[in-house]
Amino acid sequence: MRNKWFLSSRRSGLRASSVWMASPWWPSDSLQIKQKGLLRLLAVSHRQGIDPYRLIYNLALENRGRYRRILNRFVRQIQIGTPVLEALEQVPDAIDDYDLLALQIGAGTDSMDKIYTELLENRESRYGTEQNIKRNLNVYFALLAVIFMLMTNFIAVFVTPILQQIHEEFGIGGRGISANLISIVSNWFGASLPYSIFLFLLIAAYIWSSNVRRASQRILAFLNPRLPSEARSQILRLMAVGIETKHSTNEVLSALAVKHPSPRIRHRLKLADAQSDNARIPWQALSDNGIISRDQASALIQVDQSDAVTWCLREFAHEQTNQVNSRKNIRTRLVHPVITSVFAVLVLIVASAMISFLTEMVQALANVV
């Protein structure tokens, strides 16, 4: 039977040694969606008691490019006996930082099942259409930038010297708007090639290197004294899960103060944890350190039952998530017209230089005649 299948596959043009993958050559899923797929496999492995090695190995075969290399490193860590959470810590970008933090909190509070449910079912989706729009905008910007850079440098290297020579032969000299525009194209756009290549390398390093991306995020976080709304909503959700699994607020806060990936947020959580240990109300300590607002702290102080506390925490997190999504949607809608307008102005400058030169050349010929 196996030989018959092999012969039929050869007749149909298939090769037995080829690996058939579900993903196309050009990846259609964003990094976040791929990370979500790995998280689902880890949840199945935990709930069913299955060895994650074979599951993740097969998932690596179904991916291409950078994320496949990430999964292969993760598989090697699992193969040598490294625990799953430690392996995730040693392989950046295998899953989202928030998901990794949630799993670490779940392991520290014995609530892994609840954490997986929270991450996979009860948490708002941050992916899908928004990620596709963002990726399409990045591709659109990259294509426009490359085409414009090649066009302007071709004009600056080959066309501008000829135009300047014609200007001198017709006696136009430095008069007219065309000379100024040609000078702008030659001196500004023509000299921008090295800087454009350097900027392209920086963007590529930011996209492909997790260390560069994390370092830049830390610099931006240091420059911004306020905590991001998304980070605060994540903390509220994890505290809700911890309290829902019958752990005290101080226990969840201590776990967050140890495991949070951001040094600045971890420092504030440690301060809040130390203040709450000194007979202070945890919610007030969190408010004093800028993790929750004063209104949220006053509302949580007045609530006694754990069910009501978890409900309030989820509602506060949901409200902050909606605010973050609304700001992201506004920025996403503005990015496309801004990019189009910038390149339209640059193309208009180049086109005006060419048109004004032709106009002045015709006028010079008319004067000669």
Question: Is the confidence at residue 10, as pLDDT, over 80?
Answer: no
Supply the pLDDT for residue 133: 66
Considering the domain architecture, whether residues 134 and 214 belong to the same structural domain is answered as: yes
pLDDT band, very low/low/confident/very high, at 7 (cuts 50, 70, 90): very low
Residue 78 and residue 134 in one domain: no
**Statement to judge: residues 148 and 78 lie in one domain:** no
The answer, yes or no, to whether residue 283 has pLDDT greater than 80, is: yes
Q: How many domains does the chain fold into?
A: 2
Single out the residue in 95, 115, 143 at which a domain terminates. Answer: 95
Give 12's pLDDT tier (boundaries 50, 70, 90): very low
- 44, 78, 95 — which closes off a domain? 95
Give per-residue pLDDT as tens, 79-95: 888 888 889 888 888 88
Domain match, 207 and 146 both: yes
What's the alpha-carbon Rg for the chain, to the nearest Å? 29
Torsion over CA: 78, 82, 85, 91 (sign): negative
- Sequence-ordered alpha helix ranges (H) in the chain: 2-11, 31-48, 52-61, 65-79, 84-90, 97-108, 112-117, 129-154, 160-169, 176-184, 193-208, 210-223, 229-244, 249-259, 263-277, 282-288, 294-301, 306-368
Claim to verify: residue 86 and residue 155 sit in the same structural domain = no
Between these two residues, 160 and 116, which has the higher pLDDT value? 116
Q: Is 50 or 195 the better-scoring residue by pLDDT?
A: 50
Q: Supply the DSSP symbol for 190.
A: G
CA distance 160 to 285: 66
Query: Residue 257 domain-assigned?
Result: no
Do 214 and 137 reside in the same domain of the chain?
yes
Q: Of the candidates 95, 117, 143, which is a domain's last residue?
A: 95
Q: Give yes or no: residues 137 and 86 share one domain.
A: no
Q: Where are the beta strands (DSSP E) in the chain?
A: none
pLDDT tens for 26-36 read 555 677 788 88
Mean pLDDT of 246-255: 83
Whether residues 203 and 350 share a domain: the answer is yes
* 63 and 135 fall within a common domain: no
Indicate whether this model's pTM tops 0.85: no
Q: How large is the average pLDDT for residues 50-77?
A: 87
Q: Which domain holds residue 63?
A: 21-95
pLDDT, tens digit, for every residue of 334-365? 877 888 888 888 788 777 777 777 777 777 77
Are 56 and 204 in a shared domain? no
Highest mean pLDDT pick, 24-38, 148-162, 286-300: 286-300
Pull the structure tokens for residue 350. Answer: 């180049």
Question: Has residue 174 been placed in a domain?
Answer: yes
Amino acid present at 73: R
Average pLDDT, the chain: 75
- Whether the pLDDT of residue 102 is over 60: the answer is yes
- Give the largest Cα separation in the chain, rounded: 97
Q: Report the helix count and the strand count for the chain, using DSSP H and E.
A: 18, 0
* Mean pLDDT within 49-65: 85
Is it the case that residue 237 has pLDDT exceeding 80?
yes
Q: Are residues 210 and 158 in the same domain?
A: yes
Residues 136 and 220 grouped into a single domain: yes
